[in-house]
Structure 1
Amino acid sequence: MLATILKSVVRQIRRHPLYVGLNVFGLALGIGVFLTLALLVRYEYGFNAALPDVDRLVRVDTRWSLPGTAPGEYAGSTFHALSFLREDFPEIETAARLENTGLSTVREGNFTAFVSGLTDPSFFRVFGLKLLHGAPDEALARPDGLVLSERAAIRLFGTTDVMGRTVPVNRDGVTVNHTVTGVLARKTTPDFLSDIEMLAPFASSDLTRSCFVAWGSDCGRLYLKLRRPGDIVSVNARMRDFVIRHAAGADSDANALGMHPEKVFGLSLAPLRGARFRDFHVLYADDGVDRTVINSIGLMGLLALALACANAINLATARAGLRAREVAIRKTLGASRKVLFVQFMGEAMLVAVIAGVLGLALCEILVPEVASLTGEALVVRYGLVGVLLPLIVVACGFASGVYPSMVLSGYRPAAVLAAARMPSGGRGAARLRDALVTGQFGIAVTIVICMLVINHQTDFMRTADPGYVRSGLLIGSAMPGNDLAAQRRMLDALRAVPGVVAAGFGELAPSPDNKTRSTYTYDGPSGPVHVHLLQDIVSTSYFEVYRPRLLAGRWFDTARGLDDMPARDETRTRTAGAVLNASAVSRFGFASPAEALGKVIGTGGITARIIGVIDDVRFESPRQAIYPEIIFFDTLSKRPFVDPIPAVRFQGVVESDMARRLNRAWAGVLPDVASDFSAVDARMAAYYSGDERRGRIFTLGAVAALLIACMGLYGLAAFAAARRVHEIGIRKTLGATGRQIVTLLLGDFLRPVVVACLLACPIAWVVMRRWLAGFDERIALTPAHFLIAVAGAVAIAILTVLGQTFHLARAEPARALRAE
């Protein structure tokens, strides 16, 4: 039987190479796309899963429910909680704090930055990471210890044999010599620690910072390793009482959160298994991914495989009539239906095996491309592929072969041999072919619409008006410390750079790292209104640099002494001028920006009179609602800024040249601090790059789906061309013109495509409407997205069948009728 199957497949390849080629290539494309996307989905679902004891690892997150703002969960918590957690919860086996920070090395004035963090000596006991060199329990025990990744060791020394070497490490302008006490082994599995290149212990001076002593601040992540996985639920259930016991305090206690901290503050344990998807809904989490998008990518892989199988069924049933006489003769010679069914199923399985091999080769080609598109460390994992591929081959062979085998083996010899024409399979087979083409194009058009919407939304996020003028704007790194004289020198140096129009400071900038928030109260006619405001302090020229839109009132004026923020000894005796954004005006309940002018709001430390209102300025993710904000003014005459961020408006100079000039000016003031003046787009890219990369995956899926669908349509057209020659000959004999024949055939061929488009549009509308709801700023779901996809699908379908259509329409009636 195997020899018969092999000979039959070879014969089919020789007699009908186009059909067999389309069948094999279609299946191979579906298998290759499925394997590639399955590896991507497995990567995302396997994130953090390979960490030792991952079911016992949690991150302590913070929940804030502040007046005037929506409740939110934040990735990270105050380090001040660690000692209390250890005392109250014996379920904690060990714990470690981790602060992402910018450590760099300096050589001949050039800074080399590393993905780095400060942590506790217990770090390796929590995460169980393997060291290529060094002992995990001792690697971070000494104050000057330093752990490097293999990649960092090679960057610095050209080898991994670096134990005991000295590395001058620069942090915020201060260089300290560290000794290499460990080298991290290369990781082959994805987790949130995969990119770390340098780890150092906290310095003794760090322990006095606010996030180590105050409940309301944080500067990093707190990780716990519990004794049992079930402890996560029990500890979470007692967190509210924990906050009440330890975070409560008098309003005068700056380190506490008031007498009822549980009303605004909460802690929760976030398991690291599954954190990849959970973090998508957590503010300021770095690795969050939308589970719906990943599931959609997986579904797209399954649909590509289903389209390939449908394509194989379509081509096989279209070709079945060509083998009818072969079946009739073999049955006349004694072959049973069972034997023929097994043979045809064997042929389908053999074709699926060939397609599987080609699909694996295609997967090898696609995986590096997808890794490049997504930015993920995606590789072909043969353990997973070795399990999936045989299952896929068997499933595809069965799905694509069972119906054609039943049709072929069921032909009756007498009816076939007595007929002048080959059987077509009847109306049932015709309906099946139309349904398959409809399903193929319906899926393809749905994916194309989703791809168009995702790409449009991504472009919108990149180019949407952020509330300020981004062209001609460069923003630098935060200037460490609070040296008033150095800050004045920095502004003077930046303003002196040729091409600079204006330069100023702010404590916030696009993708901000410093966030000061306070609750302000307005005593309105209906009672006090409390709103939690994001606070910014800006210098002179800030308005000229960013150019925000003024909705009412005025901007700060140096000629008005009361606009300036009061000195610390004046905060209770003088009212400062303040500018609100539109969101803050709305949260306070003012009917319009103009109504807010002149109103006085205050917090425990300062009273402010509203002198102006600006439109909302977006410095953060388009998914997040813009935070209500208050802006104060400081002329650098009385007090320094806290880690100010310089920004420069320039003109007449190429952006890259201006960045180099500004970095040189920075180095003239702070030679020991790395600088990176960059455009707004570069600073905001992290907020939309993930959607942009996954949009490319949808583009890849849309191309594959359309290609497979066109193969199915081409097979249907080829079958129709073989079956309708006689019909077309009669029509032309009776006077039909070539144009009428083309119109008739195109209408028949495109009918399932049009039906597919009508089915795809409402499905895509529901899916994309739900996806867009996750953005605070989003595009409108207009008919253009659907019309473009439908028009494109119809145009591609026309091009696919045009050759067959013209061939039939141009056939000579006499020759067509004589052939019959």
Structure 2
Amino acid sequence: MFQAIFDGALREARRHPLHTALNILGLAVGVCVFLTLGLLVRYEYSYNASVPDADRIVRLDSHWSLAGTASYESAFTSFRAVPFLRDDFPEIENAVRIIPATLQVRREGQFTSFTSYQVDPTFFQVFGLRLIRGLPTNALSRPEGLVLSEGAAQRLFGKTDVIGHNIELVRDGQKTSHIVTGVLAQPAEPGVLSDAEILVPIPTEDINTRSCFQRWGSACGRIYLKLHNVTDISTIGAQLRDFVIHRASGADSDETSLGTHPEQEFSLSLVPLLQQHFYDITVRGGEEAADRNVVNSIGITGFLALMLACANAVNLATARAMLRAREVAVCKTLGASRRRLFIQFMGEALLTVATACLAGLALCEVLTPVVASLSGQAVTVRYGFVLLLWPLIVIGSGLASGIYPAVVLSRYRPAAILAATRMPSGGRMDARLRNALVVVQFAIAVTIVICTFVIDRQTAFIRNADRGYTMSGLLVGSAIPAKDLAIQHKMLDALQAVPGVKALTFGELGPNPPNQNKSTYKLVNSAEKVRVHLLFDRAGSEYFETYNPRLLAGRWFDPKYGQDEGPDNEALQKGTGNFNVVVNETAALRFGFTTPDAAVDKVISDQGLRATIIGVISDFRFVSPHEPVEPEIIYYNSLTRTPFDEPIPAVRFDNASSSEMVIHLNRAWASVLPDTPANFQSVDDRTLEFYQGDERRGRIFTLGAIAALLIACLGLYSLASFTAVRRTHEIGIRKTLGASARQIILLLLGDFLRPVLLACVIASPIAWFAMRSWLSGFDQRIVLGPIHFLTAISGALFIAAMTVLGQTLRVARSEPARALRAE
């Protein structure tokens, strides 16, 4: 039997080499795409799976419901909660605080940045990550201790045996000396802090002085808890509301508390570590996150590619069945049973699929690095995973693509076949099946194409959408760590002296701001007690000329108006004074003003501080397009008596290239703060992380769309060639009766493309619902209009037409006499 199966498959390959090759190629592409995208999905689902006791580790998240702003969840939580958590919940085995930090190593005048975190000494007791050098029990117990990743050790020293080596780190202009006490092993799977290159203990000075350690309303990092049992997650979660009421409440004058009723605007929750990767897509300050629906869609795309390839095999096998009819008839005449023939044809299908799977695995080796590059993930071919899927793919695809053709071939009646002058056409059932499969194939392919086109348009839109300020010709630097007025003046003078600087300003917010401060203001002299939680910013001289905001109403700050000068830090803390402010459009709307003009000259207050709105500007989008723009209040600071709090310099330039300006600005910065990197960047580079994930996922879907169309077109081409052969006699008769080549071409194209048109009709509503759901995750988004569908459908139809045009032209131009003789 095995010999018969092999001989039958080889005979078919010799008789129809092109179509056998196309069938194997289609199956190989389908298997390749399925395996490659399956590896990517597996990678995304494996986050944190290799962390010891991952099921008992949770993150403590904060939930805020502040006046005038949308409620949100943050992965950053006040560290003031940690000692109280230890006291109130015996279910907690250990806790660790983690602060993302910007740490550099300076060598030969150049700064090298590392992905760094400041952590508690209990870090390894919570996460249990493996060290290839050093002991986890004491690696971070010393204040000067430092743990490097394998990659960082290689970058700095060229080897991993670096225990005891000294490293001088620079953070916010301050130098600290450290000793390498451990080298972190490369994690087997991606997970929390898998990007960490440097781990250092949290400085004692920070614990004693930073507000995030002292105040409930301030946060600078994440809290992870390791519990004794998995069931403790629900136990602690049920008690967190009472915990907040008991521990975070206090008098309104107590700056460390959240007032008498903290539960009205603040709450806590636990996020299990194993759920964090997908959960964080809606959390501010979370770890690297992925949208579960998008990841699942990528997996479904791979599965559909495999199904398209199987459908191709069914189509080709049923179309070729007519060519094997006499072979079946002779075999049955010689005594072959229907069961034996069924087994033979199923065996041939499985052999073809197995061959295609080997080719698909080879293609997977080539495609996986490409997908890893496109997705930005460290995806590799995991043969344990692949070998587990391989037999399932062979058996499943073999059965899916072979059962029906085997049934069709084995049921032929030898007497009817041998007595007929023509080969059987397969009947209406087979023709309908082939048309239905073409419809399904192209419906899937066109759906993926439409979704890919919409994703591409949305990605381009958010990248180039109006952000409320002029991005071209703008460079933004790092926050100046010094709060000294003299140093800030010196920096301002140094940067202004750079040739090509057209305008220069300081602000406490900028594109992708490192820190954000907020305060609640109420509308004065209003019948309604409107309160809005406003994002706080200070704007320096030439701010308007640098960022070029759109003034919607009122005026911008002018030094000739004394009240335009904003409050100093003491006035802000005590809530005293009268000042002029500018607010953004969102703030004006949240206060209830129907138009920007209606907000001008109105007074808002924070405790005793009164702020008169003199102008309304368009919203600045400094944050991710997934996040809504927050209401914002801007004070003016001329830098005459009040220093900025870690100001962010912004420079507008002309008559020079961006790269040249970066070099000159960095050099000018170094003349003032030589131990702090300037990192002047364009707005696009500074906000790259906001758009990179969507762009990468868009590339993956593009790859899936190309594969889907390729597989569908391979099947359509093969089917068209067989159909053209079957209709040669019909075309000869039509041409004999006077039909022109043009009429024949239109007839055949219409027959071939009719299922494709039906597929487009089916695909459109499916794609519309899917993309409407996806676009809802963006604060800025395109309008899902007909043009997106028509463009994608037109492209698919054009490709389908080009696929069958060659066969159509060949048949339409054939001579009638030769066509009739051939039959």
TM-score band by shorter chain is: over 0.9
Q: Which residue of 2 aligns with 1:417?
A: 418
CA distance in 1, matches of 2:822, 2:719: 21
Q: Secondary structure at the match of 1:630?
A: strand
Over 3 Å counting, the alpha-carbon distance change for 1:253 and 1:320 in structure 2 is same
Report whether the alignment pairs 1:492 with 2:502: no
Return the offset for 1:569.
5.9
CA distance in 1, matches of 2:287, 2:673: 30
* AA in 1 matched with 2:733: I
Report whether the alignment pairs 1:54 with 2:57: no
* AA in 2 matched with 1:463: N
Report whether the alignment pairs 1:98 with 2:75: no
CA distance in 2, matches of 1:201, 1:534: 31
Give the conservation status (yes or no) of the 8 Å contact 2:277–2:287. no
> Could you report, residue by residue, the CA deviation over 1:35-70 in whole angstroms, capped at 9, with x for unpaired residues?
011111111111111111111111111000001111
Q: Which residue of 2 aligns with 1:134?
A: 134
Q: Which residue of 1 aligns with 2:110?
A: 110
Return the offset for 1:550.
0.3
Over 3 Å counting, the alpha-carbon distance change for 1:787 and 1:195 in structure 2 is same
Report whether the alignment pairs 1:335 with 2:351: no
CA distance in 2, matches of 1:710, 1:569: 71
Return the offset for 1:713.
1.0
Q: Which residue of 1 aligns with 2:183?
A: 183
Match of 1:750 among 750, 753, 757: 753
Return the offset for 1:311.
0.3
* AA in 1 matched with 2:34: F
Report whether the alignment pairs 1:216 with 2:193: no
Return the offset for 1:720.
1.1
Q: Which residue of 1 aligns with 2:806?
A: 803
Over the aligned positions, Cα root-mean-square deviation in angstroms equals 1.0
CA distance in 2, matches of 1:567, 1:656: 36
CA distance in 1, matches of 2:360, 2:571: 74
> Could you report, residue by residue, the CA deviation over 1:182-212 in whole angstroms, capped at 9, with x for unpaired residues?
1111122111211100011011111121000
CA distance in 2, matches of 1:4, 1:524: 94
Over 3 Å counting, the alpha-carbon distance change for 1:330 and 1:499 in structure 2 is same
Return the offset for 1:532.
0.3
How high is the TM-score relative to the length of structure 1? Answer: 0.99
CA distance in 2, matches of 1:570, 1:187: 50
Residues 516-525 or 416-425, more deviating: 516-525
* AA in 2 matched with 1:614: I
* AA in 2 matched with 1:600: V
Q: Secondary structure at the match of 2:194?
A: coil
CA distance in 2, matches of 1:591, 1:166: 61
Q: Which residue of 1 aligns with 2:259?
A: 258
Number of residue pairs the alignment of both structures matches: 820
> Could you report, residue by residue, the CA deviation over 1:76-95 in whole angstroms, capped at 9, with x for unpaired residues?
20111100000000010001
Give the conservation status (yes or no) of the 8 Å contact 1:45–1:274. no
Over 3 Å counting, the alpha-carbon distance change for 1:524 and 1:312 in structure 2 is farther
Q: Which residue of 2 aligns with 1:373?
A: 374
Report whether the alignment pairs 1:766 with 2:769: yes
* AA in 1 matched with 2:410: S
CA distance in 1, matches of 2:570, 2:102: 35
Q: Which residue of 2 aligns with 1:654?
A: 657
CA distance in 2, matches of 1:684, 1:169: 25
Give the conservation status (yes or no) of the 8 Å contact 2:524–2:605. no
CA distance in 1, matches of 2:285, 2:432: 53
Return the offset for 1:568.
5.2
Give the conservation status (yes or no) of the 8 Å contact 2:576–2:608. no
**Residue pairs, 1:707-746, within 5 angstroms:** 707-746=710-749
Q: Secondary structure at the match of 2:529?
A: strand
Report whether the alignment pairs 1:29 with 2:33: no
Q: Which residue of 2 aligns with 1:166?
A: 166
**Residue pairs, 1:607-622, within 5 angstroms:** 607-622=610-625
**Residue pairs, 1:779-798, within 5 angstroms:** 779-798=782-801
Return the offset for 1:523.
2.7
Match of 1:578 among 576, 581, 587: 581
> Could you report, residue by residue, the CA deviation over 1:626-655 in whole angstroms, capped at 9, with x for unpaired residues?
100000011111111111100000011100
* AA in 2 matched with 1:48: N
* AA in 1 matched with 2:175: T
CA distance in 2, matches of 1:544, 1:48: 47
Return the offset for 1:481.
2.8
Q: Which residue of 1 aligns with 2:436?
A: 435
* AA in 2 matched with 1:6: F
CA distance in 1, matches of 2:576, 2:395: 82
> Could you report, residue by residue, the CA deviation over 1:562-598 in whole angstroms, capped at 9, with x for unpaired residues?
1001345666663111000000000000121111111
> Could you report, residue by residue, the CA deviation over 1:391-442 in whole angstroms, capped at 9, with x for unpaired residues?
0011111111110000001100011011111111100000000001111011
Q: Which residue of 1 aligns with 2:707?
A: 704
How high is the TM-score relative to the length of structure 2? Answer: 0.99
Give the conservation status (yes or no) of the 8 Å contact 1:318–1:715. no
Q: Secondary structure at the match of 1:175?
A: strand
Give the conservation status (yes or no) of the 8 Å contact 2:551–2:617. yes
Q: Secondary structure at the match of 1:777?
A: coil
CA distance in 1, matches of 2:528, 2:747: 75
* AA in 2 matched with 1:147: V
Give the conservation status (yes or no) of the 8 Å contact 1:49–1:191. yes
Report whether the alignment pairs 1:538 with 2:539: yes
> Could you report, residue by residue, the CA deviation over 1:510-543 in whole angstroms, capped at 9, with x for unpaired residues?
1111100000011343232100000001111111
Q: Which residue of 2 aligns with 1:635?
A: 638
CA distance in 1, matches of 2:760, 2:536: 51
Give the conservation status (yes or no) of the 8 Å contact 2:350–2:402. yes
CA distance in 2, matches of 1:652, 1:445: 48
**Residue pairs, 1:145-294, within 5 angstroms:** 145-207=145-207, 208-294=209-295
* AA in 1 matched with 2:771: M
* AA in 1 matched with 2:445: A
Give the conservation status (yes or no) of the 8 Å contact 1:59–1:76. no
> Could you report, residue by residue, the CA deviation over 1:476-517 in whole angstroms, capped at 9, with x for unpaired residues?
001103111000111111111000001110000011111000
Report whether the alignment pairs 1:402 with 2:403: yes
Q: Which residue of 2 aligns with 1:814?
A: 817
Return the offset for 1:719.
1.6
CA distance in 2, matches of 1:169, 1:403: 68
Give the conservation status (yes or no) of the 8 Å contact 2:576–2:609. no
CA distance in 1, matches of 2:608, 2:466: 34
**Residue pairs, 1:427-506, within 5 angstroms:** 427-506=428-507
Give the conservation status (yes or no) of the 8 Å contact 2:50–2:188. no
Unaligned runs of 5+ in 2: none
CA distance in 2, matches of 1:607, 1:119: 41
Q: Which residue of 1 aligns with 2:125?
A: 125
Q: Which residue of 2 aligns with 1:39?
A: 39
Q: Which residue of 2 aligns with 1:77?
A: 77
Return the offset for 1:604.
2.5
Return the offset for 1:9.
1.2
* AA in 1 matched with 2:120: D
CA distance in 1, matches of 2:821, 2:27: 38
CA distance in 2, matches of 1:356, 1:84: 58
Q: Secondary structure at the match of 1:580?
A: strand
CA distance in 1, matches of 2:525, 2:588: 13
Q: Which residue of 1 aligns with 2:326?
A: 325
Return the offset for 1:606.
2.5
Return the offset for 1:623.
1.1
CA distance in 2, matches of 1:41, 1:62: 29
Return the offset for 1:602.
0.9
Give the conservation status (yes or no) of the 8 Å contact 2:566–2:636. yes
Give the conservation status (yes or no) of the 8 Å contact 1:450–1:764. yes
Q: Which residue of 1 aligns with 2:515?
A: 514
Q: Secondary structure at the match of 1:238?
A: helix
**Residue pairs, 1:662-681, within 5 angstroms:** 662-681=665-684
